[in-house]
Amino acid sequence: MAGNKVSGDKAVMEKIVALCKRRGFIFQSSEIYGGIGGFWDYGPLGTELKRNIKDAWWNDMVRNPPPGPDDREFQMVGVDCSIIMNPKVWEASGHVGGFSDPMVDCKSCKARFRVDQVFHVPLYRSGQDEPFAQLSVESDDAQSAIEAAQPKGTKLSKKHGGGDFDARPVCLTDYLEANPTGQANLSCPSCNELGTLTEPREFNLMFQTYVGAVQDDANIAYLRPETAQGIFANFKNVMDSTRVKIPFGIAQIGKAFRNEINPRNFTFRSREFEQMEIEFFCRPDEAKMWYEFWRDTRIKWYESLGIKSDKLRPREQEGDELAHYSDACTDIEYLFPFSEETQELEGVAHRGCYDLTQHGIHSKGKENAFAVIDNETKERFVPHVIEPSAGADRFTLATITEAYSYDENRASPEFMKFHPRLAPIKAAVFPLVAKDGMPEVATEIYNQIRAECPTYALQIDAKQSIGKRYARMDEAGTPYCFTIDGQTLEDNTVTVRDRDDASQIRIPKESVAKFLREKLGV
């Protein structure tokens, strides 16, 4: 069977990575200096591909969004915010407080813990001032730490003669503050070994920098870890300047930065990446409806761009997976060849009124600073937010792995079956041989397509054998090649070669641009 898909195979992933480099889709950043972990560059073909993806998203979501549920109308507008913002933004969003947690590692069993979630638990006999033993547990608070300490504590108690005991948990945060050199007295909550925990270390995943020439704590700033906060911070500006009315959405495409501990899997987990985000603002009582609308819209969008296989898997998050402020979230996941498990391409989250409320509190000192008034019902409410947040680089990678096809019966076994709308090169024009006036006709046809389809990336090539030129276009994923041959000179027809099955038909040379537009549908 032609177009045989290969999946769930790491060898395939390696072939894809090799093809990406060979054909100029993706290069490692700073490769000539030995590279740099978690950063990637797009080459000429990859740049066209990613641009087509971002354009498709912007056109389909912002300029020409689908009709809403029950054909309800809604507006979509765009913003393009700065990457560095006032650091208070990240206090309001929780990124500064929440993600700079000190961690400790166990040198013995290699487990890692958040310092504030480990409790040191000395065990006491009633009436005694010194503990007879101690242990550690992982827990959210002191009360559950006591419960968590019972099984281990009972065993320890038996060892020490048995009898009732009293567990008095101390959070590691507090313990280390009181005993800065107290590491040796602590045991690992996982393997129970004594004195194996490292000193606490900060793991802030935000990139830090300084605004202004003086490097001082007072002017620390961060590269944004998500584009969403720029949208929330401009919510009122957009309301005041554009006449949008609830329900409406604000969209943004832009770079974001996360200092991942361990970047992996080609471009999938990068430290610098591009997001395509929508924050959709609606009435609280309609939030569920809009959540479902966006979830379904986003799934259909991926399918419309060629991710039709069963590798695309939406997954509704379970209760304990959800952030505390979130009512619902669907991860739209894709099964990449590098993993047995599906990986997130996009999260569609029902965020309630959390973000606007937080920014209200932090910027204006009141929860409802960004409340709006419904003109018909006169109700006043802080809008609820549905957030479809997609990874542009992740979808680019999914597009590449989905398109990658292998058919050993073809002269060119590897070919990229891109959706025509996303294909980096839309068509190529070839003289069958570089003589008898064929190159001149090729140039004429090439110029004709350029004039009639000025947005298409095209190629013209007269060098080497025709088979080699077809093969190169197969690896670039070019849907159609037009070839000028001897018959063209007699009856003005050219052959059209189809990338997916290598079949050929003849069409009049005047109609190549029309043929392309109809076939590509772009």
Could you tell me the smallest distance in angstroms from the CB atom of residue 381 to RNA?
24
- Which C-beta is closer to RNA: that of 13 or that of 250? 13
Could you tell me the smallest distance in angstroms from the CB atom of residue 49 to RNA?
18
- Which C-beta is closer to RNA: that of 111 or that of 211? 111
Could you tell me the smallest distance in angstroms from the CB atom of residue 99 to RNA?
4
197: amino acid identity, one letter: L
Could you tell me the smallest distance in angstroms from the CB atom of residue 486 to RNA?
3
- Which C-beta is closer to RNA: that of 19 or that of 246? 19
Q: Tell the residue number behind the tokens 């993706």, with chain if given.
A: 26
Helix 10-23 × helix 466-476 angle, to 10°: 110
Could you tell me the smallest distance in angstroms from the CB atom of residue 344 to RNA?
8
Beta strand segments in 2-72, E: 26-28, 40-42
State whether residue 244 is helix, strand or coil: coil
- Which C-beta is closer to RNA: that of 50 or that of 95? 95
- Which C-beta is closer to RNA: that of 66 or that of 486? 486
Q: What is the DSSP-derived secondary structure letter of residue 69?
A: G
Query: What Rg, from alpha-carbon coordinates, does the chain have?
Result: 29
- Which C-beta is closer to RNA: that of 261 or that of 373? 261
Q: Are strands 480-484 and 427-431 parallel, antiparallel or unpaired?
A: parallel
129: amino acid identity, one letter: D
Greatest CA separation for the chain:
109
- Which C-beta is closer to RNA: that of 164 or that of 341? 341
Cβ 250 vs Cβ 277: under 8 Å: no
CA 166, 169, 173 angle in degrees (round to 5)? 165
Q: Tell the residue number behind the tokens 């270390």, with chain if given.
A: 201
3 state SS for 169-213: CEEHHHHHHHCCCHHHHCECCCCCCECCECCCEECCCCCEEECCC
Cβ 429 vs Cβ 444: under 8 Å: no
Beta strand segments in 309-383, E: 312-316, 328-334, 343-352, 372-373, 380-381
* Cα gap 263→385, rounded to integer Å: 30
Nearest to 421 by CA among 389, 404, 399: 399
* Cα gap 35→47, rounded to integer Å: 19
Could you tell me the smallest distance in angstroms from the CB atom of residue 85 to RNA?
14
- Contact residues for RNA (CB under 7 A)? 10, 13-14, 18, 21-22, 28, 34-38, 94-95, 98-99, 105, 110-112, 203, 205-206, 225, 258, 260-266, 269, 323, 338-339, 410-414, 432-436, 438, 463-468, 470-472, 475, 483, 485-486, 489, 495, 497, 502-504
Alpha carbon of 388 to those of 311, 328, 391: distances in Å?
20, 12, 10
Cβ 405 vs Cβ 417: under 8 Å: yes
Could you tell me the smallest distance in angstroms from the CB atom of residue 15 to RNA?
8
- Which C-beta is closer to RNA: that of 238 or that of 416? 416
Which residues make Cβ contacts (< 8 Å) with residue 295, sequence separation at least 6?
314, 330, 348, 388
Q: What is the DSSP-derived secondary structure letter of residue 382?
A: P
- Which C-beta is closer to RNA: that of 134 or that of 258? 258
Cβ 159 vs Cβ 135: under 8 Å: no
Phi and psi for 233 in degrees, rounded to 5?
-65, -25
Could you tell me the smallest distance in angstroms from the CB atom of residue 422 to RNA?
20
- Which C-beta is closer to RNA: that of 293 or that of 415? 415
Could you tell me the smallest distance in angstroms from the CB atom of residue 128 to RNA?
36
15: amino acid identity, one letter: K
- Which C-beta is closer to RNA: that of 67 or that of 486? 486
- Which C-beta is closer to RNA: that of 123 or that of 386? 386
Could you tell me the smallest distance in angstroms from the CB atom of residue 46 to RNA?
14
Could you tell me the smallest distance in angstroms from the CB atom of residue 48 to RNA?
19
Could you tell me the smallest distance in angstroms from the CB atom of residue 18 to RNA?
4
